[in-house]
Structure 1
Amino acid sequence: MDTSQVIGIPLRWNDVDAYRHVSHMALVAILDDGRGRWLDSVVGSLVPDWGYVVARLELDFRAPASLGERVLCGSFAVEHVGSSSIRLHERLTTNSGTVVVEAVSVIVAWDQDQAVGRPLTGEEKAALTREIAPAHGP
């Protein structure tokens, strides 16, 4: 997975569960924060407040993270650009490179005024297609 643009996402004390690990629900929120920031960097200059909804989210928890990590590193790579949706490969790692969670998400461009999915514009498709990563291993 290309990690040319890594997003650092700070951990908060309330992200930790009774086992002193970052909880699985906090990891979903951390991915969401990183995904939004990454998308802003890719298409935010084309459309301010670029709207999207998550249509699918697959998660594989690989290793625990603790509050002592302070920051998790999020990397996001486009796997496929459709007419209105994008499939992303997402990963959170510790600063030392330990993979905490890997995810695949499908997001749909969203028309906030109409509250419906919308087609991607040609500019959006071009910007997202430039972010397609080479195939990654298992």
Structure 2
Amino acid sequence: MRHIYRCPLRWSDMDAYGHVNNAVFLRYLEEARIDFMSGRPAESRQGSVVARHEIDYRRQLVHRPTPVDIELWVTQIKAVSFTVSYEVKDEEAVYARASTVVVPFDFEAQRPRRITDEERAFLEQYTDEAGEAVAA
């Protein structure tokens, strides 16, 4: 299953060339990830940090009144991290493909923490289209 976030485009997202600035895509991914994570089990709201981003820009995205869709799914679940993949797209095109490694974090202890059983069950609902997340 994939999570879909309808991301609004803002005039301030544009750069001097008239398209969404590449750096803004990171904020779009963050918005989609926050929307996705808001459905996690309550005890997992402690926090998380991003360990890595990768983005492949496919096509320029220009401002328009309609939102762009960001599809998000989980491609890997490990003991202390998980990988989220994304497609930023609409009916016309895929504008970017990306992935983020997310690490659950205990802010009180100031260190990464293990993924709980409840979190793992939540994440497994959003595994890739083949129905499998790589577990480690």
Q: TM tier, shorter chain? A: 0.7 to 0.9
- Give the deviation of 1:89 after TM superposition: 1.1
What residue number does 2:54 align with?
58
AA in 2 matched with 1:27: F
Is residue 85–residue 99 contact of structure 2 (8 Å, CA) maintained in 1? yes
Say if 2:35 is the partner of 1:47: no
Say if 2:43 is the partner of 1:79: no
4+ residue runs over 2 A deviation: 45-50
- Give the deviation of 1:109 after TM superposition: 0.5
Say if 2:11 is the partner of 1:13: yes
What residue number does 2:93 align with?
98
TM-score (norm 1): 0.86
The 1:73/1:101 distance shift into structure 2, 3 A limit, reads same
| Consecutive unaligned residues in structure 2, runs of 5 or more | 131-136
Is residue 13–residue 21 contact of structure 2 (8 Å, CA) maintained in 1? yes
Deviates more, 1:108-117 or 1:76-85: 108-117
Is residue 46–residue 107 contact of structure 2 (8 Å, CA) maintained in 1? no
Q: Equivalent pairs: percent with the same residue?
A: 26
What residue number does 1:37 align with?
35
Say if 2:105 is the partner of 1:110: yes
- Give the deviation of 1:118 after TM superposition: 0.6
- Give the deviation of 1:70 after TM superposition: 3.6
- Give the deviation of 1:40 after TM superposition: 1.4
The equivalent position to 1:25 in structure 2, one of 13, 23, 26, is: 23
| Consecutive unaligned residues in structure 1, runs of 5 or more | none
- Give the deviation of 1:7 after TM superposition: 0.6
Deviates more, 1:62-71 or 1:118-127: 62-71
Is residue 109–residue 118 contact of structure 1 (8 Å, CA) maintained in 2? yes
2: CA distance, partners of 1:70 / 1:78: 26
Is residue 88–residue 106 contact of structure 1 (8 Å, CA) maintained in 2? yes
TM-score (norm 2): 0.87
CA RMSD after TM alignment: 1.9
Is residue 9–residue 66 contact of structure 2 (8 Å, CA) maintained in 1? yes
